[in-house]
Amino acid sequence: MVSFRPFRELIKERGTSTYYLRFRCNQYNIGGKTLERLLTDQSVSTNTLDALCQIFECDISQIMEILPDSKKIDDM
């Protein structure tokens, strides 16, 4: 399962608002629906992930992490 917990921690650490991400990131503005998806661990495009890495000047590991899918583990 993909988790965007590192992204949520990153914006909290840096004091970045969703307003900033939506309206102040020049060509990288992130839409409201996309932010909602990030905050609820839903899928986003690789373009969005790239934009976040550019905005925060960070590695993808600071945006997302892969967690074991408990259902798949239980089925084994």
For the chain, the structural domain boundaries read 2-75
Q: Maximum distance among all alpha carbons in the chain?
A: 47
Which pLDDT does position 26 carry in this prediction? 84
Residue 75 has pLDDT above 80, yes or no: no
Half-sphere exposure of 3 (CA within 13 A, CB side): 9
CATH annotation of 2-75:
1.10.260
Spatial CB neighbours of 3, under 8 Å, sequence gap ≥ 6: 41, 64, 65, 66, 67
In one letter, which amino acid is 9? Answer: E
pTM value?
A: 0.85
Which pLDDT does position 69 carry in this prediction? 82
What are the pLDDT digits (tens) for 1-34? Answer: 999 999 999 999 999 999 999 999 888 989 999 9
What are the pLDDT digits (tens) for 26-59? Answer: 889 899 999 999 999 999 999 999 999 999 999 9
Q: Tokens in use for 25?
A: 């990131």
